[in-house]
Chains A and B, each alone.
Chain A
Amino acid sequence: MTGISMTASAAREGPASRATSVGPVPPWAALPILKALAQRLVPWIVPIALMTLWQVAASLGWLSTRVLPAPSEVVKAAWALTLSGELWTHVKVSAWRALSGLAIGGGLGLALGLLTGSVKFFETLLDSTLQMVRNIPALALIPLVILWFGIDEMAKLFLIAISVFFPIYINTFHGIRNVDPGLIEMGRSYGLSRWQLYREVIFPGAMSSILVGLRFALGLMWVILIVAETISAQAGIGYLTMNAREFLQTDVVLVGILLYALLGKLADVFARLLEHYWLRWHPGYQSAA
């Protein structure tokens, strides 16, 4: 790669040196800036080309609007939904469902993981049962959940909670088990109480693993939310898209899909920020600062 770029720059410097002899200001002086700009722009070429192609194809009628409406139509639909306030209502409902499910399932997973990770008795008591239940896919529970909770909010929360529970539980458990025993021994010999040992040594030591669990859980959270909302809902992004399907509003369906993508990305960015803050001691997370 470097070899190629070096020869390329050498080739460009040829006319540059000739230009210097002609005029006082070389026309290629801005070359490094242009090069940096090109580096930034290159990754956008394919998406922009695709969007343009899509737009042109839709405008010329090659694509039926029922199959794929033009990007401009999708933007228009999103704008209309934003103006009517509908978009915000649905996003709010969906985000609330996702986050409450995460709080309940993740909180329980964290608490139980801490318990089984730290106390041998609770591991013996609970771990084999939990490992067994873990092998049941959350989506396989849908018929049972509908029988138990109907098609209400409760059913959706339950599905999300149970699916985020396991990644957080397992990673917390393993995180605690993998805390350097030398550090625990040091803490004990330096007179830390059990609670201090937890706060200073065990919990921070397990943190990187817990955060891995959180990121897994966030990914699962959106998948389960989408499925749960398409079963039956009175509001939420899933309801928005299912409703739009009924009325053949493909543009609104696309808006819904893009919203899921956006929320998923947002959750991931949030998890990354948490990692950068809580693991800032770790050489792997220290940026140039």
Chain B
Amino acid sequence: MTLNDIKKDPAAQPCGVALSLRGLSKHYGPRQVLHNTCLTIAPGEFVAIVGRSGCGKSTLLRLVAGLEAASQGSIQLDGKEVNGLQDNTRVMFQDSRLLPWRRVIDNVALGLPPGSHAAATGVLAQVGLADRQGDWPARLSGGQRQRVSLARALVHSPRLLLLDEPLGALDALTRIEMHQLIEGLWQQNGFTALLVTHDVQEAVALADRVILIEDGQIALDERIPLTRPRQRSDPLFGLIEKKILDRVLQQPSQETPVHEPAWPPTPEHGLCQAG
């Protein structure tokens, strides 16, 4: 499905939001994580961000999500500058972050007005877990938990879905299933998607555009011309994957000097900013 299809189809509600980052920078103390990043994403576009660990890709996503404030620069949704958490933006985290003390259905309905269990049931059916709605999250497999977490994000009909390495902890087969699921739901709902991943193949399989971040800066912005559904056996697929992977590997690993930002934050930090 292309952009034009979404615009033509009024049933695809809500359609994606246009995201624009202007000179976005972030530093933790003296350490600069993102330098002056500019990026424009069209409504309904699926963009994947790849890079080595510690390159700043997760920070970029956390800034867009409003979980952290940028040191400099601005984030615009549909041309309007925004700050902090947005109602039309939802995040799918690497660890599913389901509430272990709520049943699956109540996890999906989290934050919805009371009496919206029907909507939650519907989305659970879309991710193929309608029969598990009464279970505790502890009873689910890793892949099922991520599907619940996807349902929980989608039940809010977000216009921007941020995916923070959501499949990093899953096995290869489950991951391929999840790719198909995410792609299908994205095509159905038409939201804008921003996926952070370290898996280049995953990026090429899902995204319209793959962006490589190195040292807190965009080093590559590659459009993927493959038609959907994409076949991993397609020679062109392999060619693109190799090209991006080679580019990623050009830079030597910086594992030692660079660390992920302090995470998790101290509990008092998380609590006092709540509300």
Q: Chain A: residues with CB nearer than 8 A to chain B?
A: 118-120, 123, 176-194, 196-197, 200-202, 204-205, 207, 279-283, 286
Are B274 and A188 in contact, with the CB atoms below 8 A? yes
Give Cα A282–Cα B152 distance, bound, in whole angstroms.
21
Are A181 and B264 in contact, with the CB atoms below 8 A? yes
Q: How far is the CB of A185 from chain B (nearest CB, A)?
A: 6
Are B267 and A177 in contact, with the CB atoms below 8 A? yes
Chain A contacts for B275, CB-based, 8 A: 193-194, 197
Q: Which of B66, B95, B102, B266 contacts A189 (CB 8 A)?
A: B66
Q: How far is the CB of B94 from chain A (nearest CB, A)?
A: 9
Are B274 and A282 in contact, with the CB atoms below 8 A? no
Are A189 and B85 in contact, with the CB atoms below 8 A? yes
Are A283 and B272 in contact, with the CB atoms below 8 A? no
Chain B contacts for A184, CB-based, 8 A: 267, 270-271, 274
Give Cα A201–Cα B99 distance, bound, in whole angstroms.
7
B138 is an interface residue with CB less than 8 A from chain A: yes
- Give the residue name and chain of the A residue nearest to B152 (CB): A190
Q: Which of B93, B103, B136, B267 contacts A178 (CB 8 A)?
A: B267
Supply 12 A–B pairs (Cβ within 8 Å), ascending by A.
A118-B271, A181-B269, A182-B95, A185-B97, A189-B67, A189-B90, A192-B110, A197-B275, A281-B100, A281-B101, A281-B137, A286-B138
Give Cα A87–Cα B11 distance, bound, in whole angstroms.
75
Give Cα A189–Cα B89 distance, bound, in whole angstroms.
9
Q: How far is the CB of B96 from chain A (nearest CB, A)?
A: 9
Are B267 and A190 in contact, with the CB atoms below 8 A? no
Q: Which of B67, B103, B136, B268 contacts A185 (CB 8 A)?
A: B67
**Given A185-B67, A197-B275, A282-B138; A190-B102 close (CB under 8 Å):** no
Chain A contacts for B110, CB-based, 8 A: 187, 190, 192, 200
Besides the known contacts A177-B267, A280-B136, 16 further A-B residue pairs in the complex with CB atoms under 8 A apart: A176-B267, A181-B265, A182-B264, A183-B99, A184-B270, A184-B271, A185-B67, A188-B67, A189-B65, A191-B85, A192-B110, A205-B101, A207-B101, A281-B101, A281-B137, A286-B136
B156 is an interface residue with CB less than 8 A from chain A: yes
Are A204 and B270 in contact, with the CB atoms below 8 A? no
Are A179 and B267 in contact, with the CB atoms below 8 A? yes
Chain A contacts for B264, CB-based, 8 A: 180-182
Chain B contacts for A286, CB-based, 8 A: 136, 138
B111 is an interface residue with CB less than 8 A from chain A: yes
Give Cα A178–Cα B266 distance, bound, in whole angstroms.
10
Enumerate the 5 nearest inter-chain pairs by beta-carbon distance, A residue then B residue, closest first: A194-B275, A181-B270, A186-B97, A204-B101, A190-B111
Are A186 and B271 in contact, with the CB atoms below 8 A? no
Are A185 and B270 in contact, with the CB atoms below 8 A? yes
- Give the residue name and chain of the A residue nearest to B149 (CB): A186
**Given A119-B272, A182-B93, A281-B136; A191-B99 close (CB under 8 Å):** no
Contact residues on B (Cβ < 8 Å of other chain), bracket? 20 to 34
Are A120 and B268 in contact, with the CB atoms below 8 A? yes
- Give the residue name and chain of the B residue nearest to A184 (CB): B270
B177 is an interface residue with CB less than 8 A from chain A: no
Are B93 and A186 in contact, with the CB atoms below 8 A? yes
B131 is an interface residue with CB less than 8 A from chain A: no
Q: How far is the CB of A269 from chain B (nearest CB, A)?
A: 23
Give Cα A38–Cα B147 distance, bound, in whole angstroms.
50
Q: How far is the CB of B18 from chain A (nearest CB, A)?
A: 21
Give Cα A128–Cα B85 distance, bound, in whole angstroms.
35
Q: Which of B87, B102, B267 contacts A181 (CB 8 A)?
A: B267
Chain A contacts for B200, CB-based, 8 A: none
B91 is an interface residue with CB less than 8 A from chain A: yes
Give Cα A177–Cα B152 distance, bound, in whole angstroms.
26
**Given A184-B274, A281-B138; A189-B91 close (CB under 8 Å):** yes
Chain A contacts for B267, CB-based, 8 A: 176-179, 181, 184
Q: Which of A176, A177, A182, A200 contacts B97 (CB 8 A)?
A: A182
Q: How far is the CB of A139 from chain B (nearest CB, A)?
A: 34
Interface string of B252-269 (1 = CB under 8 A from A): 000000000000111111
Give Cα A63–Cα B69 distance, bound, in whole angstroms.
80
Q: Which of B67, B111, B137 contacts A192 (CB 8 A)?
A: B111
Give Cα A183–Cα B101 distance, bound, in whole angstroms.
12
Give Cα A140–Cα B65 distance, bound, in whole angstroms.
55
Interface string of B35-47 (1 = CB under 8 A from A): 0000000000000
Are A200 and B102 in contact, with the CB atoms below 8 A? yes
Are B85 and A188 in contact, with the CB atoms below 8 A? yes
Interface string of B122-138 (1 = CB under 8 A from A): 00000000000000111
- Give the residue name and chain of the B residue nearest to A197 (CB): B274
Chain B contacts for A280, CB-based, 8 A: 136
